[in-house]
Each structure stands twice: as C-alpha cells, then as structure tokens.
Amino acid sequence: MTQNDIVQKLWNLCDVLRDDGINYSDYVTELVLLLFVKMEYENTQAGLLNAHALPEWARWPELTGRSVLELLNYYRQMLLDLTKSDDRLIAVICTDAQTRLREPRHLEQLIRDLDRIDWFSAQRDGLGDLYEGLLEKNANETKSGAGQYFTPRQVLQCRETAWD
C-alpha cells in the first residue's frame, strides 16, 4: 500500500467525521486518538515494544470487539480513564482527550476502516508525510478555506534552493 493510498483512506475517514458534524480542526485529534491505541497494540504484537503501555481495557481489541450499541460510551469512558493513568506518559498523551463523535455507527466505521490499513507501511513512509497529505487534501477543498495554511512542498523546495 502506497502513501497516497493511505492518505486517501484517511481522507475517506474524514468524510465519516464530517457526516458526524466534526470539522477539520478536529479531524486530526479524532484520528490520532484511535491511531495511538491501534499502533500501540500493533507495535507490541510485532515485538517492537517490550510490553503494552496501555492497560488491557484500553487496547485495540477492546474497541474492535464491542457492539455498536456500547462502543461510543465505552470509548468516551476509556479516554477519560486514560487521562488519569498512573503511567505519566499515557496521561500526558491523553490529557483532555475526548471524542466529538455523536453517532456510535460512525465510530464503528472509523475503527473498522482503520483496522484494515497496514500501519507498518505507513510508518515506513513517514507519518508526517501522511499528515502533510491530509493537509494538502483539505487545502484543495474549496469550501474548507484551509488553503491559506498550506504551502505545497514544491514551493518550499524552490524557496530553500533560492536561499542556498
């Protein structure tokens, strides 16, 4: 799976967020919270982390195994409980973590779709590049108005060359 494929899949997830009334400024937060839980689990399972940093009740299978009826309430409580974690790093990462999702079916769709993405190839390509790809897609959306905050990589490279 290429970086562009992953960016497109993440952008499609932003459609789910928009359908739930979430705006661009909250897209990244919503996706990062879920990605943190997913990637912590995958890295531990692959032996890249010595042990789970997240408690058992906050791991990815706890989200994928829940019914849609209980999923959103469970996720909200999980985020709240993680802010109180004894592990200072987890507590800091999750400070003020909350979801703005209102529809359990949208959370279920996000989890299901994130579960299908190969995150090891995403890490190889660079998570920053994925973020940049999402930012570029949003900048190209005529109604978002976010283009004023995005400078295409080609312009930055020309500017760097001019300064040399």
- pLDDT tens for residues 53-109? 899 999 999 999 999 999 999 999 999 999 999 999 999 989 999 999 999 999 999
- Which residues are CB-contacts of 42 (< 8 A; sequence separation ≥ 6)? 60, 119, 120
Looking at per-residue pLDDT, the higher value among 7 and 163 belongs to: 7
Range with the poorest average pLDDT among 42-46, 53-57, 98-102, 138-142: 138-142
Q: Which residues contact 14 (CB under 8 A, 6 or more apart)?
A: 24, 27, 31, 134, 138
Q: What pLDDT is stored for residue 76 in this prediction?
A: 96
What local confidence, expressed as pLDDT, does residue 26 receive? 79
pLDDT score at 142: 47
Instruction: State pTM to two decimals.
Output: 0.75
CA dihedral sign, ordered 16, 55, 127, 147: positive
pLDDT at 131 over 50: yes
Distance, CA of 24 to CA of 35 (rounded, Å): 17
What is the model's pLDDT at position 35? 85
